[in-house]
Amino acid sequence: MRSLARHPMIRLSCQQASRLLSQRQDEPLTFGKRLRLRLHLAYCEACTNVSRQFAALRLAMQRWRERD
């Protein structure tokens, strides 16, 4: 039996995942997109690192805004 994360309708490329990571900075993702992204991040270390970088940038910007 094939893994659900490898199913072509669910599996994301790194390019698609990075687009979703960027998109979720601006707006909430649908349940399906969140699920697909979460599955991708579960096995892709590179995209997990990109996700952490986005989170660090978001936190830095929040702190910078609060400073003023």
Q: Residue 10 phi/psi, 5° resolution? A: -110, -35
> How much is the pLDDT for 46?
97
Q: What is the pLDDT of residues 31-59, one digit of tens each?
A: 999 999 999 999 999 999 999 999 999 99
Q: Are 14 and 44 in contact (CB under 8 A)?
A: yes
Report residue 21 as tokens: 């990571």
Report residue 15 as tokens: 């390019």
Q: Are 5 and 41 in contact (CB under 8 A)?
A: no
User: Taking every pair of C-alpha atoms in the chain, what is the biggest distance, in angstroms?
Assistant: 56
Amino acid sitting at position 21: L
